[in-house]
Structure 1
Amino acid sequence: MAGGAAPPSTARGGYRLSALNDDLLQEIITCLPVKEAARTVVLAKRWRYLWPSAPLFLNDADLPQPARDVVVPRVLAEHRGRFRSINLAYFRLASLDRELPGWPRLLADKRTQRLQLTNRNYLPPNQIGTLPHIPADILRCGSLQNLVLGFLKFPVDLSHGVEIFLPNLRELTLAMVIISGEDLEHLITACTALKTLKLTSLTPKRVHLRSRSLRCALVGLSRVEDFAVVDAPLLERLVLYLPGTGARVKIGYAANLLVLGHLDTRVHQLQIRDMVIKSGLKPNTMASTSTLIPSVKILAVTVNFGVLSELNTLASFLRCFPNIVTLHIESVLHDPSVSASAIEPSGEHHAKFWQEVGPVECLRSHVLEKMAIHEFRGDQDEFEFLKFVAMNAQGLQSLHVVLQEGDTSSSDDKKVNEAREKLQDLRFQTGISGVLLVLPKEGILSTLQKATDLTYNDPFRF
């Protein structure tokens, strides 16, 4: 360098990292995998005392399999700093109980903020009853802000005999856990600061939500038959997925509900307060004030346009939400496992259905501005619905029709062009034209992440 100055890395006789203060160095160390962070003690005498007292980020996935049984208990026992995030996805809880008895209490004493126990070494589904219990002390770790539990079972009779103290818990995720419906309701109610709830593959057939703080809920209904939002005055977003074989979805008190989906006309029975919206209603059946949820602005519905009973249900669902601004519809076929005798194809009658259907308030009241049809295939019964929208939607500003990449190939160019031409032929009252898009199918993990990220105004957007 000019003037013979020393390189920056050796200026003043030392490394620039070593010139940082201890607080900054500790923050750097906490960003490293635990194996690398521990190695910093050999870099310099000054570093020797930084990692043991830095906030601990422990992820057992960073450790080689043979070393986990030894390293995890030792790190938890010897680390002097507080615990910020502990992720035990592969470590065997029985080994931890043996090597470090009382470790759940230690998590509370070290003021753990985030804990993930997902027991990836679970037994096959036919032996699910032998899953290990969640240590009761985990439910009394008052510093926890984020808790993820998977492939475990809750203490027996949680709602009657186990104290729960989770006053700071903001986010709760339960994946494939054994818990009764009553205990689940008690757990959610006891988490008085809970903002985000994620439930998937639960064992109870009955799931009822009561929470005075909950804002967002992601619920997998693959095993649930009776789902209800009983009392959730701050709930803004309810995302349902994995519809399973059928469930009653009841919306009781949720005055601030803005986003709802996917309601599935194939398997869901919608109940609003005490009124059940049954499938197979006559096309001109009107909604009453007791079957309206005026707060919902974004709605997602799944439907098979080729089945008349599902078209009836779709029309009935739409009438319950008079103030929808954005409507997403996923066009699907019946699952191959569904008996052919249970399917009533609409055939030549689908056009007549939409001609006779009664008014849908969200279309004719200038409220609905955006609509997207996902998983579009270009079938005639889908276009009959779009004709109905074109004739009745008085405020629609954009329509996106999405064909999934992979459902079409170079040999299907003719089909894509035909669909595009048919869209251009539609005459909307607002003068818009439908836009045909061919997009890759979004992965399930990305979809679920958006569902609970409130920075996404519309979690169903492609």
Structure 2
Amino acid sequence: MEKAAPTAVARKRESDGIAGSWPRNRARGGNYDGNWVAEDPISRLPDAILGTIISLLPTKDGARTQALSRRWHHLWCSPPLHLQANSSLFSSLRWRPTIINRILSDHPGPARRFHFPFIQFTPGDIDSRRTELDGWCQSRALDGLQELNIYYGRWSREPPHISFLLPTSALRFAPTLLVLKIGSCNFPSEISPSLSFPLLKQLILRCVSISEDVFDQVLSGCRALESLQLWDILTARRLHIRSLTLRSIGSRARSACTQELVIEDAPCLERFVSLYPPDISFETIRVIGAPKLKILGLFSPCVSTLQIATLVVKGMSPVSLANSICTVKVLALYSSGSQLNAVLNILRCFPRLEKLYFTLKKHPKMDMKNVHLCDPLDPIECLAIHLKKLVFENYKGRHQDADFAKFFILTAKVLKEIKISSPKGNDIKWVDDQHKLLQVEDRASRDAEPEFRSEFSCLGKTKQIHDLLDDPFDCSCCRIKCNVLSGESCP
């Protein structure tokens, strides 16, 4: 009887599918909690696909997949490294060097992305931070890097004197980089004449101190560059842009930064966008050689001189109405205290406009008597023939706002869309009152009825600069919208 019991138990185990030791393949992919649980379908995928999935996860989550099972244990080191060294990777800054060093030593490479968005330092640890970053950039695990994002910061809230020098070791990735983002540092004052970025598509320089000569040399080495963002560049008094491949430029400049931007030769340039807020920009912008330019904005009076080909605009006043730019199809304007007549003169300079965006200033002082200065025998071409979309941002519903918007609603004859963004866009009674103020029933185009929305402006946000969408000012795809007339959420 003593020997019979184990035999019976063995038979029972065999009938339950667990005779003897557990099958190796089940132990690797399945789980046992008294009953077998079938191997999950994701774990059955090939290593190459699982590696791709892991590479898309944040660094911390990707490393944690090793704990799922033995099936996943080796996978984290097999795909290219995407190292995102931000607060999600370490809760305390003092653990940063240890964690990053371990990742770089454990992962064999190659690397695709090294994202270090905020390297904090104080005057006493500048040298140690520079040594730390230089060591990481020399790691073999980062060989073949495609995206590099380094941004420095300081504890002091005072405007910093940029004193953190970008390690020259960071430039060793130039042959393989597709995306380069550098912020708050000194770019090396001397670089190798042979330095080039043959594959680089996107370049962002934010609060970077760089000389005119070095900037010219870097840009000339970018033979595939499509998107450039210049954000508060220091040291250089004037920046010249010459690029045979560049399609998009986003810019911003504070008073202490570079004051003149000259686009001399950019045959493929399609968009030039001033980054938000609209009252911070270069004092002088000259777009001399951009025959394909079709998107322009945010256009504001803070630019003392804007030149596009032969068109010269001082503030918001064209020097001559005889010159016009027929290639521009999308225009974003920041309406100020200027008279409406000045805005209309701007529109005369862009006769083929199809989309027009207005960001209304907080307290506009429009002299609406200028409306009567428009000669019906001399119509504005874009309002009469081409304009299909009209958008008002920061609309408060005051009489000044309503009078300004009403002119365009009553004048633009072929509109298909009228969108008005307002903090009160979800108040049905307020919307009804605005319809009366705007005289919607008398609109020039019967095909377009104003659509009020409660949403925030995203004109000039950086993401759209690099997306190379047809219209970087159309943020409808990334907003939470509400159709106040039907009470339903918009798709």
TM above 0.5: yes
Residue type of the alignment partner of 1:449: K
- Does 1:175 find its partner at 2:206? yes
Deviation of 1:240 (Å): 0.7
Query: What is the root-mean-square deviation of aligned Cα atoms in Å?
Result: 3.6
1:78-108 CA-partner distances (Å, limit 9, x unpaired): 5322011111234578547646866435469
SS of match in other structure, 2:214:
helix
**Residue 113 (structure 2) aligned to one of 85, 95, 104:** 85
Residue type of the alignment partner of 1:239: V
Asked whether the equivalents of residues 195 and 213 of structure 1 are also in contact (C-alpha less than 8 Å), the reply is: yes
Which ranges of structure 2 fall in alignment gaps of 5 or more residues? 1-14, 30-38, 121-125, 477-491
Asked whether the equivalents of residues 258 and 298 of structure 1 are also in contact (C-alpha less than 8 Å), the reply is: yes
Alignment partners' CA distance in 1, 2:130 and 2:409: 64
Find the counterpart in structure 2 of residue 273 from structure 1.
Answer: 309
Equivalent runs, 1:373-384 vs 2, <5 Å: 373-384=392-403
Find the counterpart in structure 1 of residue 149 from structure 2.
Answer: 116
TM-score, normalisation: structure 1? 0.79
Find the counterpart in structure 2 of residue 372 from structure 1.
Answer: 391
SS of match in other structure, 2:442:
coil
Equivalent runs, 1:51-70 vs 2, <5 Å: 51-61=76-86, 62-65=89-92, 66-70=94-98
Matched-pair identity in %: 25
Residue type of the alignment partner of 1:234: C
Deviation of 1:112 (Å): 0.6
Residue type of the alignment partner of 1:325: E
Higher helix share: 1
Find the counterpart in structure 1 of residue 296 from structure 2.
Answer: 260
Cα gap change, 1:272/1:313 in structure 2, threshold over 3 Å: closer, same or farther? farther
Alignment partners' CA distance in 2, 1:362 and 1:87: 48
Which structure is larger by alpha-carbon Rg, 1 or 2?
2
**Residue 137 (structure 2) aligned to one of 104, 108, 112:** 104
1:221-277 CA-partner distances (Å, limit 9, x unpaired): 334422232221111222112332762232222122221111013545321225422
Equivalent runs, 1:345-424 vs 2, <5 Å: 345=365, 350-357=367-374, 359=378, 361-390=380-409, 392-405=411-424, 416-424=431-439
Find the counterpart in structure 1 of residue 356 from structure 2.
Answer: 327
Deviation of 1:136 (Å): 5.4
Alignment partners' CA distance in 2, 1:409 and 1:70: 51
Cα gap change, 1:5/1:186 in structure 2, threshold over 3 Å: closer, same or farther? same
Find the counterpart in structure 2 of residue 450 from structure 1.
Answer: 464
SS of match in other structure, 1:177:
strand
Deviation of 1:144 (Å): 0.7
Alignment partners' CA distance in 2, 1:147 and 1:201: 17
Find the counterpart in structure 2 of residue 234 from structure 1.
Answer: 268
Find the counterpart in structure 2 of residue 300 from structure 1.
Answer: 332
**Residue 128 (structure 1) aligned to one of 146, 161, 164:** 161
Residue type of the alignment partner of 1:419: Q
**Residue 28 (structure 2) aligned to one of 14, 18, 28:** 14
Asked whether the equivalents of residues 145 and 173 of structure 2 are also in contact (C-alpha less than 8 Å), the reply is: no
Asked whether the equivalents of residues 89 and 120 of structure 1 are also in contact (C-alpha less than 8 Å), the reply is: no
Alignment partners' CA distance in 1, 2:382 and 2:459: 30
Deviation of 1:355 (Å): 1.3
Asked whether the equivalents of residues 372 and 401 of structure 1 are also in contact (C-alpha less than 8 Å), the reply is: yes
SS of match in other structure, 1:128:
coil
1:348-401 CA-partner distances (Å, limit 9, x unpaired): xx2321211464543354111111122123344444444543554332233223
SS of match in other structure, 2:454:
strand
Cα gap change, 1:423/1:391 in structure 2, threshold over 3 Å: closer, same or farther? closer
Deviation of 1:444 (Å): 7.6
Find the counterpart in structure 2 of residue 337 from structure 1.
Answer: none
**Residue 209 (structure 1) aligned to one of 241, 246, 262:** 241
Deviation of 1:28 (Å): 3.8
Alignment partners' CA distance in 2, 1:365 and 1:20: 59
Alignment partners' CA distance in 2, 1:42 and 1:314: 62
- Does 1:71 find its partner at 2:111? no
**Residue 177 (structure 2) aligned to one of 144, 148, 155:** 144
Asked whether the equivalents of residues 333 and 359 of structure 2 are also in contact (C-alpha less than 8 Å), the reply is: yes
SS of match in other structure, 2:291:
coil
Asked whether the equivalents of residues 29 and 54 of structure 1 are also in contact (C-alpha less than 8 Å), the reply is: yes
Which ranges of structure 1 fall in alignment gaps of 5 or more residues? 335-342
Asked whether the equivalents of residues 354 and 384 of structure 1 are also in contact (C-alpha less than 8 Å), the reply is: no
Residue type of the alignment partner of 2:327: S
TM-score, normalisation: structure 2? 0.75
Cα gap change, 1:133/1:122 in structure 2, threshold over 3 Å: closer, same or farther? farther
SS of match in other structure, 2:288:
strand
Find the counterpart in structure 2 of residue 317 from structure 1.
Answer: 346
1:304-336 CA-partner distances (Å, limit 9, x unpaired): 2x433xx344223212211111111111136xx
Alignment partners' CA distance in 2, 1:77 and 1:452: 33
SS of match in other structure, 1:116:
strand
Residue type of the alignment partner of 2:392: I
Asked whether the equivalents of residues 390 and 417 of structure 2 are also in contact (C-alpha less than 8 Å), the reply is: yes
Report the more deviating stretch, 188-197 or 322-331.
188-197
Report the more deviating stretch, 177-186 or 12-21.
12-21
Aligned residues: 432
SS of match in other structure, 1:366:
helix
Asked whether the equivalents of residues 424 and 433 of structure 1 are also in contact (C-alpha less than 8 Å), the reply is: no
Alignment partners' CA distance in 2, 1:101 and 1:430: 61
Cα gap change, 1:80/1:320 in structure 2, threshold over 3 Å: closer, same or farther? same
**Residue 186 (structure 2) aligned to one of 133, 153, 164:** 153
Cα gap change, 1:443/1:355 in structure 2, threshold over 3 Å: closer, same or farther? closer
Alignment partners' CA distance in 1, 2:409 and 2:52: 57
Alignment partners' CA distance in 1, 2:456 and 2:393: 10
